[in-house]
Structure 1
Amino acid sequence: MTDAVDVVIVASAFGMDAVRTHGHLKWADASKRAGATGFEVRRELFADETDAAPQALRALGKEIAALGLWSVYSTPASLYMPDGGLDADALRVSIEEAIALGARFVKLQLGGFGAEAKAAVIADYMRCADVRLVVENGQLAEGGSLGQFTGLFEALEREGHAGLLGMTFDIGNWAWRDVAPLDAAGPLAAYVEYIHCKTTVGEGARRFPAAPAAGDTQFAAVLDKLPRHVPRGIEFPFDANRIDADAAHYVAWLAAA
């Protein structure tokens, strides 16, 4: 039997309206009851901008830690602007907020990365930050292409900063870009430090995240290609009629898959 891995529940799995209405702590507690080891806080699900103030983040982080969970801080901000330039302000704010929360990871979208990583600038921001920076493949063309991610990690190495940051590999998001996740897993596996686990249903604009079906061999093959030791995040919606049972079921399944 293989060793179990850390499983994170992403706040949005409980429903975006539910998180905005009741706050993140209620769902962090539900995550703990389900057997998760981590909880992903989503900045876009704060009910009010004051929830992102340092004192509010510190209080939330302490409460999550008191449950025995570690946290991920996810922001919809992008590391690179549409013109390819580094968005240093977005990086700084995201790091500051993640540090206030006490997060293990701070997750941004990649954005409009072109050819130059500006690795030295990122390194300056990360030097005293006790948090790991990861960028996620998104659903949009900007920040969602396989070439952008391979190009980013090649640029970091070229600029003398290999390993400066890692990747959140979102298995389901590749569908929006018509990329087979198994095709992306091979060239990117070495950089993956966190996995968002979901598949999709529907097509085009009517595509939605979904739980992997039992016996989904393609999903299993992708997990096999990615590092076994990195945390796996549940980012598909739970059944609102049986949230606790659903959460516990999928935590146990992903931990052993």
Structure 2
Amino acid sequence: MFLTEMNDGQSQINLLKNLTQPIDGFEVRGEFFKDDKADELHQLMTLAQEKSYSFYYSIPEILFTNGELNEHLAEHFRIASEYKIDSLKISLGVVNLPTPEQVTVLNNLIKVTGVNLTIENEPNPNGTIEHLVDVCRTLTELGFLGGYTFDAGNWYWINEDPIAAMNALAKYTTVLHLKNIHNQETTLLDTGDTDWQALCAKVTDSTPIILEYQINPADLADELNKLKQYLKVS
């Protein structure tokens, strides 16, 4: 939401502290931390505890490289546990189908740390509807304890329809990254090419919906209110 401000050097913690609109939680992005990452994570943990916010963290890496699990996963989970992060999110990467042994590794990390993990679709050939359905079905059959983050925008970069994707993946979706797209650019919710309300209608009432696109400060309150009002009447 604060891409311009972060590119100008503002920290994620200060942006969240200055947010006046009511929210239920936040997701920070690993690539936007500065040299004082540990201090900022500590402040984010404190803010989440003080405000009773859900605390999500987006890992700027992929889960699988040529079918092998990310070798840094244990460290990511250790950090998440230390700073009381509720859930980690990571892009799928390159894998045919996860193996039982790999799911066991992931489940053990989740169980030992108490931190959730969700896997996100990518805007590249690894993120097609067909492949994501195969991966999610396999993970479910193997008893994966984590979930799936449905990114509403990434489908436009691989010429697939987000509504068709949601129809195929709704039963696996545990987090919705909501955004709208026109000409491969993010837009305000009501000015893009996706029926964003139709996406929201497909997930359960308990599914976190995270706004994940650049919003000008003048539009922020209105965008949050659009989603809140829709959720109240749906």
TM-score normalised by length of structure 1: 0.80
Matched, 1:90 2:72: yes
RMSD of aligned residue pairs (Cα, Å): 2.2
Alignment check: 8 A CA contact 1:98 1:106 kept: yes
What is the letter of the counterpart of residue 213 of structure 1?
D
Cα deviation digits, residues 31-80 of structure 1 (max 9, x gap): 4x1111111111001123x41x4x65233311333244221111111111
Matched, 1:251 2:231: no
Q: Which moved more, 1:20-29 or 1:103-112?
A: 20-29
Q: Which moved more, 1:122-131 or 1:62-71?
A: 62-71
TM superposition shift of 1:14: 1.1
Partner of 1:209: 186
Partner of 2:132: 149
Choose the corresponding residue for 1:106, options 80, 83, 88: 88
With over 3 angstroms needed to count, the CA separation of the structure-2 counterparts of 1:26 and 1:56, relative to structure 1, is closer
Choose the corresponding residue for 2:32, options 45, 50, 63: 45
Partner of 2:46: 62
Partner of 2:156: 175
Partner of 1:36: 23
With over 3 angstroms needed to count, the CA separation of the structure-2 counterparts of 1:76 and 1:232, relative to structure 1, is same
Alignment of 1:219-238 (within 5 A): 219-238=196-215
Aligned length: 228
With over 3 angstroms needed to count, the CA separation of the structure-2 counterparts of 1:157 and 1:36, relative to structure 1, is closer
Cα deviation digits, residues 121-155 of structure 1 (max 9, x gap): 2112222122211111122223x222232122222
TM superposition shift of 1:216: 6.9
What is the letter of the counterpart of residue 41 of structure 1?
V
After superposing on structure 2, the runs of 4+ consecutive aligned residues of structure 1 that deviate more than 3 Å are: 214-217
Structure with more relative contact order (C-alpha pairs < 8 Å, separation 6 or more): 1
SS in 1 for 2:80: helix
Identity %: 25
TM superposition shift of 1:246: 2.3
Alignment check: 8 A CA contact 2:6 2:12 kept: no
Structure 1 runs not aligned, ≥5 long: 1-12
Measure the CA separation in 1 of the matches of 2:192 and 2:161. 18
What is the letter of the counterpart of residue 14 of structure 2?
K
What is the letter of the counterpart of residue 201 of structure 1?
H
Choose the corresponding residue for 1:128, options 109, 112, 131: 112
What is the letter of the counterpart of residue 177 of structure 1?
I
Alignment of 1:70-89 (within 5 A): 70-81=54-65, 83-87=66-70, 89=71
What is the letter of the counterpart of residue 249 of structure 1?
D
With over 3 angstroms needed to count, the CA separation of the structure-2 counterparts of 1:137 and 1:217, relative to structure 1, is closer
